[in-house]
């Protein structure tokens, strides 16, 4: 028997609104096992619905529970970064969630909704959406950053290492960064290298391949980061911490000292 996990672990009213979806699923696939992930306060919901085989809640060991249950599918009606990460770590092969959620990076299959006018999305999803004539790019992240007074080209991803190791292994680290810079330059300038990696990109058509290549190139740094750009990253982090709160950045409201390392 196939096993499906449906997630709606927020308010009671929303948990109840999820029941019609469970009814539709059970009616079309009566042999599927449906578990409902809800808030602990509402775990008895399974006793009032014939469409729920069992209900579970996050007792602090949710990832372990998900791995033991070995679900075939998950449908996230209420998506958070934490839930998306745990579903991904549990290796549920078919994970469905609204494309508008920040946790979408963890979902390999997305629901295309028609109930919104615009979305802010992660670059690989943007590349795929732009192969569809029904979607168009209306604003670039660089324009948003400019409006916030943040310089373009600031660092947003990087290598993580222990500072003591960096201080002891200067030559190794320099060679590593040199190799990384050379690889980025190659990806920026050479179309041939992209043709070599295309079989690993899951690009089903030429338009998606070109979109992925070009949008990736937009994010490649064009040189050493300036002090202004590093300060811009700190400012952006503070803004995001105010908007997203603990769910997005945890307890820290500003970038930790030592986040950026210079030899």
Name the β-bridge partners of 5: 35, 74
What is the CA 186 to chain-centroid distance, rounded?
Answer: 27
Evaluate whether residue 30 is within a structural domain: yes
144: confidence class by pLDDT, cuts 50, 70, 90: confident
10: confidence class by pLDDT, cuts 50, 70, 90: confident
Q: Is 193 exposed, middle or buried (0-12, 13-18, 19+ CB in 10 A)?
A: middle
Per cent of the chain over pLDDT 90 is 27
What is the C-alpha to C-alpha distance for residues 89 and 87, in angstroms, rounded to an integer?
5
Domain membership of residue 108 as a residue range: 3-116
Task: Report helix, strand and coil shares of the chain as percent, to nearest 5.
Answer: 50, 10, 40
CATH code (residue 7): 3.40.50.2000
Evaluate whether residue 58 is within a structural domain: yes
Q: What is the pLDDT of residues 82-141, one digit of tens each?
A: 888 899 889 898 888 775 545 555 443 444 555 556 666 778 878 888 888 878 888 887
Give the per-residue pLDDT at 194. 96
Evaluate whether residue 99 is within a structural domain: yes
The average pLDDT across 19-32 equals: 88
Per cent of the chain over pLDDT 70 is 89
Number of domains in the chain: 1
Q: What number of other Cβ atoms are within 10 A of residue 11's Cβ?
A: 13
Q: What is the pLDDT of residues 235-260, one digit of tens each?
A: 888 888 887 777 667 778 888 888 88
Evaluate whether residue 61 is within a structural domain: yes
């Amino acid at each position: 028997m196939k096993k499906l996990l449906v997630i709606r672990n927020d308010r009671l009213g929303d948990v109840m609104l999820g029941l019609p979806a469970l009814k539709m699923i059970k009616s079309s696939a009566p042999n599927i096992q449906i578990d409902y992930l809800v808030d602990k306060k509402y775990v008895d919901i399974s006793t009032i619905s014939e469409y729920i085989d069992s209900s579970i809640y996050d007792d602090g060991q949710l990832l372990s529970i998900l791995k033991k249950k070995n679900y075939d599918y998950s449908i996230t009606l209420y998506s958070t970064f934490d839930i998306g990460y745990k579903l991904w770590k549990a290796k549920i092969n078919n994970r469905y969630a609204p494309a508008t959620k920040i946790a979408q990076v963890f979902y390999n299959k997305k629901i295309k909704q028609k109930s919104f006018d615009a979305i802010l999305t992660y670059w690989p999803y943007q590349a795929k959406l732009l192969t569809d004539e029904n979607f168009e790019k209306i604003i670039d992240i660089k324009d948003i950053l400019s409006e916030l007074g943040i310089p373009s080209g600031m660092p947003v991803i990087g290598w993580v290492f222990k500072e003591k190791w960096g201080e002891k292994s200067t030559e190794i680290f320099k060679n590593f960064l040199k190799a990384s810079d050379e690889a980025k330059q190659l990806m920026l300038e050479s179309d041939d290298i992209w043709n070599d990696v295309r079989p690993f990109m899951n690009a089903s058509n030429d338009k998606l391949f070109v979109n992925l290549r070009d949008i990736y190139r937009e994010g490649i740094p064009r040189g050493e980061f300036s002090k202004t750009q590093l300060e811009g990253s700190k400012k952006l982090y503070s803004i995001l911490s105010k908007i997203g709160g603990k769910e997005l950045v945890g307890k820290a409201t500003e970038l930790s000292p030592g986040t950026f390392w210079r030899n």
